């Protein structure tokens, strides 16, 4: 009877999430890439997968309580409401919203070549730094040792790590230029940039970086490609899952290079399923084990607290590390969904309020992107897809604030430099 009650509760909330997705889809005029629509779709999908995996490949997965389901549902509602409020404000300004169309590339070719040369020259130095980190791990397998040391050791890539986000910004710029002006030279620059960015991502050993590349392509393609279809989203995500599994095997997670394809299928499937749904259970575990609200901002506002700590403004601050401890649900996981840092800092209402803010801001960027047709908002929208898609996994909005700040600085710097390369008309 207890299991039946859990199943009914879970199905009820899955249905509510589905209704919210349908409502958003209709209210936002069937625009699947509207942030509110995407957010509700992602959470409906993850909750549905949680239910399916518990009945199939993850039979020991702990059940979720009604209070945890409520956190997820109200959070989706808050994000959606933020998007709805922004959309209403936008419509009241009588701004015409039309799909972006192809336009002339406005980033100078010479500047793009110079930027590409910079990340290409920096790549071997980055690989050399990665090898130094690997040696410190004392592990035989290169990628396993590198990942272990980067995640849990004391060694670091150093200043060269900033080349990673730099290469992604340049990739977005080159992709924008290719989609607005498809010629051979733009295609060559784009492919070269993609290969360099992928190489950086491999040596970072974080599979999320591959998803970010996919989402940058998805966002720009949606806004600039007249032939974009919803099927492309499905195909891209399937492609990413295959890459995710293959990279996982290379990193020694979810399989082994020494095993046959058949031997790798089961562990790879289980590991992928754990990645997708265990964060929900991790949040459940966290909320019911020695949990207390800190009221200090050291989790969600860690970037600002770290600066305040270094400036001696808050000398007693204890800024939390991004890498969290493992819990067993019973499958091991150390990610706790987007809600964890906000709830630990100031409670549920703070988490819901921040989701409202994210939905509001994200929708503003989206509406500017589809109406202004400028490279600025188009690129920013594509980058914001990553924290949105990763919301079921962990917070990537404020927790990665320093990364987004880098993206803004790099991109605005490129736009500024471009003025010196463009001849006045």
Looking at residues 388-413, what average pLDDT do you find?
A: 94
The pLDDT assigned to 100 comes to 43
| pLDDT tens for each residue of 139-192 | 878 877 888 888 777 778 989 999 999 999 999 999 999 999 889 999 999 999
Check whether 101 has a pLDDT greater than 50: no
Tokens standing for residue 187: 């295609």
Burial status of residue 81 (CB atoms within 10 A of its CB: 0-12, 13-18, 19 or more): middle
Is residue 253 over pLDDT 80? no
**Alpha-carbon gap, residue 393 to 278, rounded angstroms:** 8
**pLDDT, tens digit, for every residue of 230-245?**
777 777 778 777 777 7
The answer on pLDDT for 99 being more than 50 is no
Of 261 and 200, more confident:
200
Per-chain mean pLDDT for the chain:
88
Q: What's the alpha-carbon Rg for the chain, to the nearest Å? A: 22
> What is the rounded average pLDDT of the residues 103-122?
87
The tens digit of pLDDT for each residue in 325-365 reads 899 999 999 999 999 999 999 999 999 999 999 999 999 99
* Residue corresponding to tokens 């590390």: 321
Q: What is the average pLDDT across 404-425?
A: 88
> According to the model, what pLDDT value does residue 230 have?
72
* Res 63: pLDDT: 92
Q: Is the pLDDT of residue 16 over 60?
A: yes
Residue 309 has pLDDT above 90, yes or no: no
pTM as predicted: 0.91
pLDDT at site 95: 52
Total length of the chain: 425
Task: Tell me the sheet residues that pair with 394.
Answer: 337
Q: What percent of the chain has pLDDT over 70?
A: 91
Look at the block and give the residue holding tokens 């996981």: 333
- Percentage of the chain lying above the pLDDT 90 cut: 61
- In this predicted structure, what is the pLDDT of residue 144? 79
pLDDT beyond 60 at 105: no
Q: Is 327 helix (H, G, I), strand (E, B) or coil?
A: strand
Q: What angle do CA 21, 24, 26 make, to 5 degrees?
A: 110
């Amino acid at each position: 009877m207890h299991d039946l009650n859990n199943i009914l509760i879970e199905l009820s909330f899955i249905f509510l999430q589905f209704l919210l997705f349908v409502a958003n889809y209709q209210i936002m005029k069937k625009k699947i890439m509207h942030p509110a629509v995407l957010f509700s779709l992602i959470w409906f999908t993850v909750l549905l997968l949680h239910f399916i995996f518990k009945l199939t490949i993850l039979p020991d997965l702990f059940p979720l309580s009604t209070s945890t389901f409520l956190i997820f549902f109200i959070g989706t509602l808050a994000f959606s409401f933020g998007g709805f409020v922004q959309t209403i404000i936008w419509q009241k300004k009588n701004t015409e919203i039309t799909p972006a169309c192809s336009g002339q590339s406005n980033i100078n070719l010479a500047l793009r070549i110079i930027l590409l040369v910079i990340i290409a020259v920096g790549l071997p130095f980055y690989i050399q730094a990665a090898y130094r980190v690997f040696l410190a791990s004392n592990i035989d397998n290169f990628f396993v040792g590198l990942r272990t040391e980067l995640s849990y050791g004391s060694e670091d890539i150093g200043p060269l790590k900033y080349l990673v986000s730099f290469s992604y910004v340049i990739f977005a710029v080159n992709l924008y230029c290719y989609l607005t002006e498809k010629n051979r030279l733009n295609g060559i620059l784009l492919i070269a940039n993609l290969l360099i960015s992928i190489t950086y991502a491999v040596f970072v050993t974080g599979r999320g970086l591959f998803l970010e590349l996919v989402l940058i392509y998805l966002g720009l393609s949606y806004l600039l490609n007249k032939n974009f279809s919803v099927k492309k989203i499905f195909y891209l995500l399937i492609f990413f899952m295959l890459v995710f599994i293959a990279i996982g095997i290379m990193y020694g997670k979810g399989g082994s290079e020494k095993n046959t394809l058949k031997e790798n299928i089961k562990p790879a499937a289980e590991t992928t399923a754990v990645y997708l749904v265990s964060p929900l259970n991790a949040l459940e575990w966290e909320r019911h084990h020695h949990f207390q609200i800190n009221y200090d901002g050291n989790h969600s506002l860690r970037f600002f607290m770290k600066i305040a700590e270094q400036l001696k403004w808050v000398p007693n601050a204890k800024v939390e590390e991004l890498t969290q401890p493992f819990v067993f649900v019973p499958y091991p996981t150390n990610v706790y969904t987007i809600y964890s840092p906000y709830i630990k800092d100031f409670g549920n209402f703070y988490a819901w309020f921040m989701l409202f803010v994210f939905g509001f801001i994200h929708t503003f960027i989206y509406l500017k992107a589809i109406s202004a047709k400028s490279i600025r908002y188009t690129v920013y929208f594509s980058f914001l897809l990553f924290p949105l898609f990763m919301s079921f996994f962990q917070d990537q909005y404020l927790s990665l604030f320093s990364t987004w700040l880098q993206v803004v600085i790099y991109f605005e710097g490129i736009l500024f430099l471009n003025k010196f390369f463009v001849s006045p008309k």
